[in-house]
Chains A and B, each alone.
Chain A
Amino acid sequence: MTATAVSHAQYRPKLLLFAAAAVVLVLLALLPPYIGLYQTQLLIYGLIAAIAALGFNLLLGYTGLLSFGHSAFFGVGAYSVAFLLRDAGIHSMELYILIGLPIAAVISALFGYICVRHTRIFFGILTLALSQVLWTLAYKFFWVTGGSDGLRVARPTLLAGTLTFTGGGSFQRFINAYYYYVLGVFAICVVIMWVIVHSPFGKALQAIRDNETRAAFLGLRISRFRWVSFLISGTFTGLAGILWVPLNGLTTPEVMYWPFSGEIVFMTLLGGFRNFTGPIVGGVLFTYLKTYAIATTEYWQLLLGVVLVLLVMLLPTGIVGAISAVAGKLRPREKSS
């Protein structure tokens, strides 16, 4: 095989992928008038979950580290917004993001600095323990955080104050505007994450994931790479928390409690952690799955638990992984070339 053939073979699927992504984005943008307010609102939750899972998967799928403490960063994002509103009187969504992101990044950097000294099960337990420190602080310091009542967050203004939401019909206007806002942020996140995992840095992470010893022989500073990966991962999940709280209108310590970390793991696995698109699909699907499970039965946890066990048993590569495996089998000619 010549060098040009290789680059062509790599080039064509990439172009196809970008085209497909653009089509999906346009379809998502056209959706709200057809699906109604409730479904739009649900889809916003789905997109936000997708951002959280996308960040989480940089660590699990690309770096090979299973964090059981990502609820902490989601919670840090959410509580940052609540504090900015209550203590600084800030109402602008852009300011929430601009100030909240560095806060999430600092906490991620701090946690990461401690956690990347370990891998495998100890990494998981360490992230879990540290995230629960934040949970108990949010729970116990009720005079700062509102305790189990949480903190209320009013609807913010969008686009530097040009869009405000007060008075009659403001809820509908907010949902419709916020959908496009979150969709925009989501698209930016996907592009950034795509660039990260396909950059030399992303390749180095995958090398470390696949063989730590060899990667070390190549001269990679393993814990430095893991730390940066952790930082980016936590910051993405923090951004999801920032976007989530104005939509939810309330943040409680529940978003920092460890079962929520389990949900982030769940959605990533649902989509498939070996694919770039896996966590995105998983995040959206999980949101629908959970919402409908709660609506159908009082015992929705049972339903989710059964789905999770079946998933691990039958579809370990997730939905996207299974689909691409089937697609790969249907196209034997392209593979052999």
Chain B
Amino acid sequence: MTILIIQILNSLFYASVLFLIAAGLSLIFGVMRIVNMAHGTFYAVGAFVTAWLVGRAIALGVPAGWTFLLIPVGAGAVGLLGVVIEPLLRPFYRRAEEYQLLVTFGLLLILEDVIRLLWGGLPLSADPVMDVLPSIRIGGLIYPGYNLVVIAIGAAAAVGLWAVIYRTKFGVMLRATSQDRRMASALGLNVGLIYVSAFAIGCFMAGLGGAIIVPSQAAVLGMGIEALILAFVVVVIGGLGSLQGALVGALIVSFVRTAGIQFFPEIELAVLYLIAAVVLLFKPTGLFGTA
């Protein structure tokens, strides 16, 4: 029973991070109709920036408790990176999908090496943040309290994003642009500004995913490439461009994966890709997709 509770918590922990990445990917696709292959790398950038900042702060003698504040800073840095990169992508919006995929693939190659250039090839960790929070006892076992914080952040992000998209004026503008870009533009919306905002929010979420996972897992090279594929699996299951889809997809992937690691470790990833393939086959738009 205790094992079950811990595995459920692990799944939720993992789902929170995965949801942040996949929701960003889905948001960018929903508004801009671009499948961003570099999205996983933004997640990796978030992890590296946060780990680096935490390391600096500790070295400067900042109390470990304050380093929590560096998590939003790390995520914000990735959001800013998005603001810088979106204008560079503009010439490609009118081009065929193939070219958009290739440009973002090129962006992935560039960013992966920029990470290596800035932080080298060694794993970068931010354990002090995790050690601040006490471990809790579940049954007879010890569970890190930090993981519960991550789950809370994931849940808050889901609610927050939902509120922004469905309950604010900006959300209405976002959805209008998503449905018909030219009509939105004709009605006087500043589509360029909405694109920048959507891309930046998407990047921020990916960066937040990286920032909250780095205290419990070190940032390593290639983490973005791995995450991108899992985020693809999530959005394929849930539906590209759908927020609910990203949430349900992230939960499905996390629970299957946790069960997989417990019961069938060899084919754990293969099962995920197969689920994605089966969903694409029978419901190409995903469980919640409309596109």
Contacts and interface: CB of A to CB of B under 8 A. Distances in A.
A140 B284 contact: no
B232 A309 contact: no
A208 interface: no
A312 B274 CA distance: 32
Contacts of A171: none
6 contacts: A121-B35, A128-B229, A133-B273, A140-B266, A266-B102, A312-B103
B277 A308 contact: no
Contacts of B229: 128, 132, 258
Contacts of B267: 136-137, 140
A66 B96 CA distance: 11
Contacts of A306: 106, 110
B273 A132 contact: yes
Interface of B: 35, 91-92, 95, 97-99, 101-103, 105-114, 116-117, 225, 229, 232-233, 236, 240, 265-270, 273-274, 276-277, 280-281, 284
Contact of A308 (B102, B111, B266): B102
Interface stretch (A25-33, A277-285, A296-304): A296-304
Among A133, A140, A265, A266, chain B packs the most CB atoms within 10 A around the CB of A133
A118 B111 CA distance: 31
Nearest to B240: A121
Contact of B99 (A128, A129, A307, A316): A316
Instruction: Categorize the interface residue count of chain A.
Output: 35 or more
Given A129-B280, A309-B106, 4 more contacts: A114-B281, A124-B35, A129-B277, A316-B99
Contacts of B277: 114, 126, 129-130, 133
Contacts of B240: 121
A301 B112 contact: yes
Contact of B109 (A125, A130, A265, A302): A302
A66 B101 CA distance: 10
A269 interface: yes
A312 B110 contact: no
A121 to B, nearest CB: 6
Contacts of A129: 232-233, 236, 273, 276-277, 280
Nearest to B266: A140
A133 B110 contact: no
Contacts of A307: 106
A308 B106 CA distance: 6
A301 B229 CA distance: 19
Contacts of B273: 129-130, 132-133, 136
A335 B21 CA distance: 52
A302 B98 CA distance: 21
Among A68, A114, A309, chain B packs the most CB atoms within 10 A around the CB of A309
A129 B279 CA distance: 11
Contacts of A16: none
A305 B233 contact: no
A173 B99 CA distance: 43
A299 B106 CA distance: 14
Nearest to A64: B98
Interface string A119-145: 011101110111011001100110000
Given A114-B277, A258-B229, A125 B106 contact: no
B101 A301 contact: no
Contacts of A132: 229, 269, 273
B177 to A, nearest CB: 19
Interface string A238-278: 00000000000000000000110010011001000000000
Nearest to A257: B225
Contacts of A136: 267, 269-270, 273
